Structure 1
């Protein structure tokens, strides 16, 4: 047998280098070193970023990165008012100074269209990935996440007037992106909807668009059909004397976000943190309740003043406070509830879906009946008490609920005028997504 020929060492080395060099080059391109990420924009300086990604409505992106940016920073998107701009939002609010103190990154989107108002009305803006301004803002967030290895579980939106309306839109379009929002003088998601190309909806701005909580919740959920994961918390601010986006919009926002988050419309606590302010919290009593609403007596549309961003920061959980964490968010269950009413009676139907990964053996569904409703009988569960905060306990034949499975229960009730479906659903103590 002839001897085996051995490949020269230099040939093997050259082959190895030929393989490794492209691989190392690819790794360098896709994962820049930390020092390069930190120098992407000048520190502690408002900087415009171009070429950040898909941007169908030609928004400008401004970003502020503090000198002490955290290793995996949170991100706050601060959205300006009509006639404003990203630089105006930077200079007119304290978000940059708060970023200096807490190490997060601030994105300031800026409109280039003549009105300087954000698109919160077109069909494209009111659905996930539909186009227009929300898509451009999502691209800005993606740029910051890539560039600074930002914490995707701590991304927040806030805005004033047109920016407050966009905050509502962003949380509806991208519930999987945002952890919470704070809207200063806004309107509910979908309230400003138009189909004629107009940016303005006079019925909504005048406070005459009134819907049920379920209808408002359905509008927000329709922006991302099929989504059943956690929903972002919402903080709402409004002045009672607002003559631009009138005060009834505040109540409609509360209806919408309590429904979206599956919590009762009855406040868990009401207080006055400052003279002339009434603060209501829904679903919990702490600083990070699912919904927090602050009404300012006698204050007009331009309600934002220095110091309010700090309160939003506390609601977001970015101020370093050692208080209790956020209350459990929906995600393990989904509930759909409907009613069919006549005169002073109604029947209610509730479908419970286990969206978790574990089988439930025995379940208890908590919910809140609207005022004036009293259960007189039911099927599929036992109900106690018969009004107010009710608990439905499974029957002997439907107590096992596998992942993805559902069960429908029902009841008959009397009512004194309000025949709406119940709200505030919890399954074995965990909040459920409604709808």
Structure 2
């Protein structure tokens, strides 16, 4: 069968292709976890009108890190909790996991995260990012979460929201790991048309023009045969975030951490890019979550 050519993400037509791949193509967490996933009904301001699901491991640390984990379109927080390895890693290392439930629709897709509206693309604009920041605040208040160790990760729509949160709330999130995502601004009015690294970086800087502190680090993963979000979007993310950090777009090191994985590090580790040979739109694979947790430092209490 002839493989369909990946569609550049210049419009919502590419998102419609996600329907057939989002529901079940993520790694299954080994074993079972001791704690349970709990829906939190009132966590504070919720401008996006989305649900919060919370996983607090039985052996939670005294001052735990906070990880926001986000599913793709047509997905569900409870399914992503069950099918990925983040909860079992939380059991091991004692951090708290927030699983937001997306509820936005576009072109026949449901349960997406908003990464296109004016509200979602700017600091303090509200929308889904404002709700997710409220969820983080809830964990800090109610569970003694460490505000200096807050991170985000996700797949597809959740990967897009990961990058969105790093751009709009660099004062909240220290780093993110995007599995099959796009650069910040791709689904908004700027689109994913060709632009220079400086122009890509300006989109991030303009999302919170008053921010004077450090910028979050980014780890990004992409499969070479992704037929939903084309592989070239990985390079656009690298261009954007190396410019944001003011580091060279030439990698400082290139390694093979596992068969089929090529890791390029930029600067002193501000940006990490993983090429996953022959992988489609089905990340994360087993073992990838542990690399993200290590990148965040959540495996070090």
TM range (shorter): 0.7 to 0.9
Q: Cα distance, 1:113 vs. partner?
A: 3.5
> Where does residue 182 of structure 2 map in the other structure?
187
The superposition leaves residues 406-431 of structure 1 with CA deviations (integer Å, 9 ceiling, x where unpaired) of xxxxxxxxxxxxxxxxxxxxxxxxxx
Residue 68 of structure 1 aligns to a residue in which SS? coil
Judge conservation of contact 2:48–2:129 (CA < 8 Å) in 1: no
Distance across 2 between alignment mates of 1:297 and 1:228: 38
The structure, 1 or 2, with the larger RCO (C-alpha pairs under 8 Å, 6+ apart) is 2
> Where does residue 132 of structure 2 map in the other structure?
137
Distance across 2 between alignment mates of 1:85 and 1:225: 33
Distance across 2 between alignment mates of 1:160 and 1:112: 15
Q: Does 1:307 align with 2:287?
A: yes
Q: Aligned ranges for residues 205-220 of structure 1 at < 5 Å?
A: 209-220=193-204
Distance across 2 between alignment mates of 1:277 and 1:72: 33
TM-score between both structures, scaled by the size of structure 2 = 0.85
Q: Cα distance, 1:210 vs. partner?
A: 2.0
The superposition leaves residues 378-428 of structure 1 with CA deviations (integer Å, 9 ceiling, x where unpaired) of xxxxxxxxxxxxxxxxxxxxxxxxxxxxxxxxxxxxxxxxxxxxxxxxxxx
Query: Which of structure 1's runs of 4+ aligned residues deviate more than 4 A?
Result: none
Give 1 or 2 for the bigger CA radius of gyration: 1
Residue 218 of structure 2 aligns to a residue in which SS? strand
Q: Aligned ranges for residues 227-306 of structure 1 at < 5 Å?
A: 227-284=211-268, 289-306=269-286
The superposition leaves residues 220-266 of structure 1 with CA deviations (integer Å, 9 ceiling, x where unpaired) of 11111121101111100001111111111100000011111111101
Structure 1 gaps of 5+ residues are 1-42, 196-202, 322-435
> Where does residue 90 of structure 1 map in the other structure?
81
* CA RMSD of superposed structures (Å): 1.4
> Where does residue 114 of structure 2 map in the other structure?
119
Distance across 1 between alignment mates of 2:152 and 2:280: 22
Residue 222 of structure 1 aligns to a residue in which SS? helix
Structure 2 gaps of 5+ residues are 1-33
Distance across 1 between alignment mates of 2:141 and 2:194: 41
Residue 207 of structure 2 aligns to a residue in which SS? coil
Judge conservation of contact 1:211–1:252 (CA < 8 Å) in 2: no
Q: Aligned ranges for residues 380-419 of structure 1 at < 5 Å?
A: none
Q: Cα distance, 1:49 vs. partner?
A: 0.2
Distance across 1 between alignment mates of 2:116 and 2:122: 11
Residue 272 of structure 1 aligns to a residue in which SS? strand
The superposition leaves residues 158-207 of structure 1 with CA deviations (integer Å, 9 ceiling, x where unpaired) of 00000000000000000011111000000000011149xxxxxxx74xxx
TM-score between both structures, scaled by the size of structure 1 = 0.59
